[in-house]
Amino acid sequence: MSNARSGIGSKSLWTIGTYVVSAGIRFASNIVLSRLLGPEILGIVVIAQAVRVGTDLLSDVGLEQNVIHSPAGEDTDFLNTAWTIQVIRGILISLVCLALSPLLAGFYGVDTRVLFAISLAPFISAMMSTGIYTLAKRLDVRTRNLYDLASEAVGLVITVILAFTLRNVWAPIFGILLAIAFRSALSYWLPHPRHRLTLSKAHAWDIFHFSKWIMISSLAFYAAVYIDRLYLGRVVTLATLGIYGLAKAISDLPATVAGRLAFQIVFPFVADKRDGASGAFAEPARKELGRTRLHFLLLVAGGIATVMAWSDVAVHMLYGQRYLDAGWMLCLLLIGSWIAVVAQLNEAIVFGCGQPKVVSFANTIRIAVIAALLPLGFAIGGLAGAILALPATELCRYGILLAAQRRARITYVRQDLALTLVLVLVVAGWVGIRMAIGLGVPWSMIH
- Confidence (pTM): 0.71
pLDDT for the residue numbered 107: 86
pLDDT for the residue numbered 420: 95
pLDDT tens digit at each of 447 positions of the chain: 344 444 555 666 666 677 677 777 777 777 888 888 888 888 888 888 888 777 666 656 677 777 777 777 678 888 888 889 889 988 988 998 899 899 988 888 889 999 999 999 989 988 998 888 888 777 777 788 788 888 888 988 898 899 888 888 999 999 999 999 999 999 998 888 888 888 888 787 777 766 666 666 666 666 667 788 888 888 888 889 989 988 998 898 888 888 878 877 787 777 777 665 455 666 777 788 888 889 889 999 999 999 999 999 988 888 878 888 999 999 999 999 999 999 999 988 888 777 878 887 888 888 888 889 999 999 999 999 999 998 988 899 899 999 988 888 888 999 999 999 999 999 999 999 999 999 999 988 887
Rg over alpha carbons for the chain, rounded to the nearest Å, is 21
**Mind spelling out the 3-state secondary structure of the chain?**
CCHHHCCCHHHHHHHHHHHHHHHHHHHHHHHHHHHHCCHHHHHHHHHHHHHHHHHHHCCCCCHHHHHHHCCCCCCHHHHHHHHHHHHHHHHHHHHHHHHHHHHHHHHHCCCHHHHHHHCCHHHHHHCCCCHHHHHHHCCCHHHHHHHHHHHHHHHHHHHHHHHHHHCCCHHHHHHHHHHHHHHHHHHHHCCCCCCCCCCCHHHHHHHHHHHHHHHHHHHHHHHHHHHHHHHHHHHCCHHHHHHHHHHHHHHHHHHHHHHHHHHHHHHHHHHHHECCCCCCECHHHHHHHHHHHHHHHHHHHHHHHHHHHHHHHHHHHHHCHHHCCHHHHHHHHHHHHHHHHHHHHHHHHHHHCCCHHHHHHHHHHHHHHHHHHHHHHHHHHHHHHHHHHHHHHHHHHHHHHHHHHHHHCCCCHHHHHHHHHHHHHHHHHHHHHHHHCCCCCCCCCCC
Enumerate the domain spans of the chain.
Answer: 3-436
As a whole number of angstroms, the distance between CA 226 and CA 46 comes to: 10
pLDDT for the residue numbered 4: 40
| Amino acid, single-letter form, for residue 418 | A
pLDDT for the residue numbered 2: 42
